[in-house]
Amino acid sequence: MDTKQDISKRAYDQLHTDAEKIRQLIQVQMDNLTMPQCPLYEEVLDTQMFGLSREVEFAIKLDLVDEQEGRQLLDNLEQELSKLHDAHTKTSLK
Amino acid sequence: MDTKQDISKRAYDQLHTDAEKIRQLIQVQMDNLTMPQCPLYEEVLDTQMFGLSREVEFAIKLDLVDEQEGRQLLDNLEQELSKLHDAHTKTSLK
């Protein structure tokens, strides 16, 4: 029988997995599909971040994930994607 | 201490609450803001359904919500919104 702690751990793991998927998707998109200046990039990013923020809020409401840690996960991902984006833009401009 | 059953019940309740919020949002939007033919309507609807489907998938992966019941919740909401939309379109055309 799962305890609350087990479920909470799975919630954190799942959120990190989903954040990592977004990171990979954005990386692939920048490497192959479109320029980061393309509106499609922004749209995919916004949609994916929205989806993840819904998961985080849901986990917080179920008291499985700490509110601050959940927001931190989203902030960290946004910062990493922003760095990826900047690095790619600089390379493209060379 | 919450049992898995408690958390699972909260997960179902939260998903139903969030589905109800989407229903109300769409109702308000149809009553006040835009015509249902407007692309904005489709966009809001798609975004909201995407957010809810992410929550449902998350709850299923955590084994809190039954896969079939989760999909049923999304299907039911889509059908209800579609009926709302049809009813509103017919009224507007009168």
Interval B38-76: pLDDT, tens: 667 788 889 999 999 999 999 999 999 999 999 999 999
**Token duo for residue B50:** 């995407």
What contacts B33, CB < 8 A, 6 or more positions away?
B40
CA distance A67 to A47: 21
Q: How close does chain B come to A93, measured CA to CA in Å?
A: 33
Q: State which residue of chain B sits closest to A50, comparing Cα positions.
A: B51
SS3 of residue A3 by DSSP = strand
- Residue ranges per structural domain of chain A: 37-94
CA nearest to B17, candidates B43, B56, B62, B58: B56
Asked if ipTM goes beyond 0.90, one says no
Most confident of B22-26, B32-36, B42-46, B63-67: B63-67
The topology (CATH level 3) of A37-94 is: Helix Hairpins (1.10.287)
Give the model's confidence band at B26: pLDDT under 50 very low, under 70 low, under 90 confident, else very high: confident
Asked whether the beta carbons of residue B55 and residue A54 sit closer than 8 angstroms, the reply is yes
The CATH number of domain B4-93, selected from 1.10.10.10, 1.10.287.750, 1.10.10.1100, 1.25.40.10:
1.10.287.750
Percent of chain A with pLDDT over 90: 60
